[in-house]
């Protein structure tokens, strides 16, 4: 399944051209630095820095952190500029636009509306603003995006239930799932079981961050107490073989976020990340960004690193890409139609050597951010590694 050491690496540009998903991406961790600076200036919000370079340093984009808790501190900056409808719509639109630029075709954006009410916004106004930004991107670029609403482990069970009620209210209106995020250690998922009972009673899909900053017991609770249909991260699943086999047998998808896991210490390094082990054992794994800004990444970069740092072959990568589309919280008929289209596009990559894929693959065309200009300008140049 793996690429041999003697096989040439596939250029980064090829991974950027692949059709792909991002099923685990946090809205408040995926802003453009330029947008944070602009919104702060416009709304006169005081931040640790005023320019993109200073904000990058303050947030720690791509830095190694000592723990998940340290990693999450960057959200204190991004959330400050996400407290009104205009800003939320803009941030959602730009996230979808950036995803479109690397040929992400389906995305599930997650966030917790309660974190965006500091200025008095109603929860429904928060949800509507984000949905409108995603709809606008769909109209402009054709990228399909849905929303997963999050309860927060370390805030309160009552607030998680409130977020679950909101997910029920927006079922079939753009919200396709419910999640439990936040600090994992000392805040067990079972405490939030009532919120998950509510969403499951209303036939809503759910995913839970588990096995990222705590052991396999957290994954067990997520599945058997809360009824999770997918697992976010799942790095420590490998510590319990019996549970791992259950997850495999039940085809429960894992939302793997390799670079983020290295940042938080959930994985010791990309070469030792459990993604490849899980894939080789037959588990349904997907590759995602987690937080495009804080982790300084893209789906293309994560796929490229799976190839170059983990030794996964291009065939392996295409199978993982397809797993992403299979694992989305989409209605069956929509998913089937999308899978037929994506399978056809992936087959086109089988008939062209890597040097020819550049010209045959679909191109992106939505320059909006300076951060993406470098990516855009490499369309017809050989490139051995992702831009930083």
Nearest to 304, CA basis, from 386, 235, 375: 386
Half-sphere exposure of 255 (CA within 13 A, CB side): 31
User: 377 burial class (0-12, 13-18, 19+ CB within 10 angstroms)?
Assistant: exposed
- Give the C-alpha separation, 147 to 170, whole Å: 10
What are 13's two structure tokens?
Answer: 């540009």
The residues annotated with a catalytic role in the active site are 212
Q: Do 178 and 196 touch, CB atoms closer than 8 A? A: yes
User: 346 burial class (0-12, 13-18, 19+ CB within 10 angstroms)?
Assistant: middle
Alpha-carbon distance values, 75 to 29, 189, 340 (Å): 6, 22, 38
Instruction: Supply angle C-alpha 279, 280, 285, rounded to 5.
Output: 5
Alpha-carbon distance values, 90 to 94, 103, 134 (Å): 6, 20, 9
3-class state of residue 387 by DSSP: coil
Q: Do 318 and 346 touch, CB atoms closer than 8 A? A: yes
Backbone phi, then psi, for 287, in 5-degree steps? -115, 130
Q: Do 288 and 247 touch, CB atoms closer than 8 A? A: no
- Give the C-alpha separation, 176 to 331, whole Å: 9
């Amino acid at each position: 399944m793996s690429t041999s050491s003697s096989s040439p690496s596939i250029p980064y540009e090829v991974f950027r051209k692949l059709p792909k998903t991002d099923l685990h991406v946090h809205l408040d961790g995926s802003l453009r630095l330029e947008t944070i600076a602009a919104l702060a200036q416009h709304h006169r919000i005081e931040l640790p820095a005023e320019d993109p370079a200073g904000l990058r340093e303050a947030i720690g984009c791509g830095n190694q952190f000592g723990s998940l808790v340290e990693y999450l501190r960057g959200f204190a900056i991004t959330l400050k500029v996400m407290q009104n409808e205009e800003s939320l719509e803009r941030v959602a639109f730009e996230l979808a636009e950036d995803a479109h630029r690397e040929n992400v075709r389906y995305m599930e954006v997650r966030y917790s509306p309660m974190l965006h009410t500091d200025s008095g916004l109603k929860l429904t106004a928060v949800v509507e603003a984000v949905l409108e930004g995603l709809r606008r991107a769909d109209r402009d670029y054709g990228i399909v995006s849905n929303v997963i609403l999050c309860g927060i482990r370390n805030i309160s069970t009552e607030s998680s239930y409130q977020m679950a009620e909101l997910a029920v209210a927006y079922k079939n209106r753009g919200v396709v799932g419910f999640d439990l995020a936040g600090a994992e250690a000392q805040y067990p998922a079972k405490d939030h079981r009532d919120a998950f009972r509510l969403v499951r009673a209303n036939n809503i899909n759910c995913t839970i961050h588990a096995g990222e900053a705590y052991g396999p017991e957290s994954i067990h609770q997520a599945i058997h107490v809360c009824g999770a249909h997918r697992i976010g991260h799942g790095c420590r699943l490998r510590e319990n073989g019996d549970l791992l086999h259950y997850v495999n047998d039940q085809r429960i998808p894992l939302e793997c976020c390799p670079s983020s896991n290295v940042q938080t210490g959930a994985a010791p390094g990309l070469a030792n990340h459990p993604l490849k082990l899980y894939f080789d054992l037959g588990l349904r794994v997907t590759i995602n960004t987690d937080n495009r800004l804080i982790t300084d990444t893209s789906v293309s970069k994560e796929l490229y690193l799976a190839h170059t740092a983990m030794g996964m072959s291009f065939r392996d990568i295409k199978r993982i890409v397809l797993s992403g589309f299979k694992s989305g919280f989409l209605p069956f008929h929509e998913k089937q139609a999308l899978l037929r289209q994506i399978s056809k596009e992936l087959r086109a990559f089988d008939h062209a050597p890597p040097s020819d894929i550049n010209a045959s693959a679909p191109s992106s065309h939505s320059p909006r951010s300076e951060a993406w200009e470098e990516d855009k300008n490499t369309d017809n140049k050989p490139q051995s590694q992702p831009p930083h």
